[in-house]
Chain A
Amino acid sequence: MTELDATTREALAELLLAVADDEFVIGFWDSEWTGIAPMLEEDVATSSIAQDEIGHARALYELLAEVTDDDADRIAYGRDPEAYRHAALLNHRRGDWAFSVARRYLYETADAVRLEALARSSHERLAQLTGKMRREETYHLLHAEAWLRRLADGPADVRERLADAIRRLWADAQQLFAPLDGEGVLVTAGILPQPMATLHAAWTARVRAAVEPIAGKLPDAAPSADGRTTRTDDFRWLHGEFTMVAGGVEAATW
C-alpha cells in the first residue's frame, strides 16, 4: 500500500488505538473472573475469551507500532491511565456475573458491527487483521448471546440483575462509537468504510430489539466527543494491576 501522509497516519493511529484499547481493557476485566466464574467449564471459557481479546489487542498494537514507529509493549503497558482511549463502557469494574454478561453482550454486538466495517477497509493490513479477528469474535458473540438469553430466562432476581446492568451500562455502551478526531480523513480514504454515526445507528437498531424486552424502554442515547477520554478510579485500579509486572522491572524480557 502506498505511503500514508502524516494526517492520515495520525488518524489511522487514533482508530487503531481506540479499538486496541477496547480489546485490551475488556480482556483484563474479564480475566478477573479466572478462578471464580460460576462453574469450572465457564471459568475456562471466560478466561480463554479474555485471552483472545488480549491477543487481538496485541496484534492491533503491533500494527499501530509500525504505523507510528513505536513499540507495542510500550503502547500497551507504558502509558498513564489518562492516555488510554477505550470507550466509557470499559471504565467499570467487573461487577457481578450479570453485569459482566450485560457488558460482554453490549460490547460483542458493537464489536461485530465495527469489525464488519473494518474488514472492508481500504487499508489492506487492517482489513486482513480485522477479517481474522471476526472469525474469533463470531464465537465470542455466540457465547455472550447464550448467557444473555440464559439470564433473561432465569428467575426474577437473576433477570432483574441483568436488566439493571443493561440500564446502568446503556449510556456508556454508546461510546464505543464515539466520534474520532480524524474520522473525516479516514472515511474519505476508505480506511473506515462508514462513519461512526452510521455504525452506531446499525448497532442501536439491533441491540435495542434484543435488550429492551429484558430491560424495558431505554433512553435515547448518542455517543459523545469525550466518550473515549473520560477515565475512572475503577480503571486506574485495573491499570495498576496490569502494569504491575511490566512496571516492576523496566524493559524486562521473558
Chain B
Amino acid sequence: MSTTERIWEVFRQEDEGDPMVHAGNVNAPDEELAMHYAREFYGRRGESHRLWIVPRDAVTELDDPDLLKPPFDRSHKKPGGYIIKHKLEAAKQRAAGEAGE
C-alpha cells in the first residue's frame, strides 16, 4: 500500500452546459479514492452535475511575473486601453458641420 498522498484538483459543473469551475482539492493516495473523496467533498449534496479530478502534477503551472506581469505599460492591449470616445464625438461634429454647409 502506498502511503504517499497526492493532491488532486477538482473541477465541478453545476449543470450540463455550464463551465467547469475549480472547486478545490483533495488528498488521496490513488485515483480511485480521489474519485470517492471528490464525490464526497464536491457532490454529496447533489450540487454537481459533473466532476473532473486531475492530479495536481498533471497541471502545467505558469506564474512567472516576467511572462504574466511584464514591467511596461500594457494598457494599449486592453479593450479599454485605446480611448476613442472623443474621436467619435469629433467625427460626428465634423459630419454634422459638413451636412450643414
Report A's interface with B, CB cutoff 8 A: 39-42, 44-45, 48, 139, 142-143, 146, 150-151, 153-155, 158
Contact = CB atoms under 8 A, between A and B. Distances in A.
Nearest to A41: B37
A48 B44 contact: yes
Given A44-B41, A45-B40, A139-B39, A39 B27 contact: yes
A114 to B, nearest CB: 23
Nearest to B5: A39
A144 to B, nearest CB: 10
B27 A142 contact: no
Interface in B17-48: 26-30, 32-33, 36-37, 39-41, 44
A44 B40 contact: yes
Q: Which 9 pairs show the lowest CB-CB distances between chains A and B?
A: A154-B1, A41-B37, A45-B40, A146-B32, A44-B40, A41-B26, A48-B40, A143-B36, A48-B44
A42 B40 CA distance: 9
Contact of A146 (B26, B27, B36): B36
Interface of B: 1, 5, 26-30, 32-33, 36-37, 39-41, 44
Contacts of B32: 142, 146
Contacts of B33: 41-42, 146, 150
A142 B36 CA distance: 9
Given A139-B36, A139-B39, 18 more contacts: A39-B5, A39-B27, A40-B27, A41-B33, A41-B37, A41-B41, A42-B33, A42-B37, A44-B37, A44-B41, A45-B40, A142-B36, A146-B33, A146-B36, A150-B1, A150-B29, A150-B33, A151-B1
Contacts of A150: 1, 29-30, 33
Contacts of B44: 48
A45 B36 contact: yes
B23 to A, nearest CB: 14
B81 to A, nearest CB: 45
18 contacts: A41-B26, A41-B33, A41-B41, A42-B37, A44-B37, A44-B40, A45-B36, A48-B44, A139-B39, A142-B32, A142-B36, A143-B36, A146-B32, A146-B36, A150-B29, A150-B30, A154-B1, A155-B1
B40 A153 contact: no
Contacts of A142: 32, 36
A153 B32 CA distance: 14
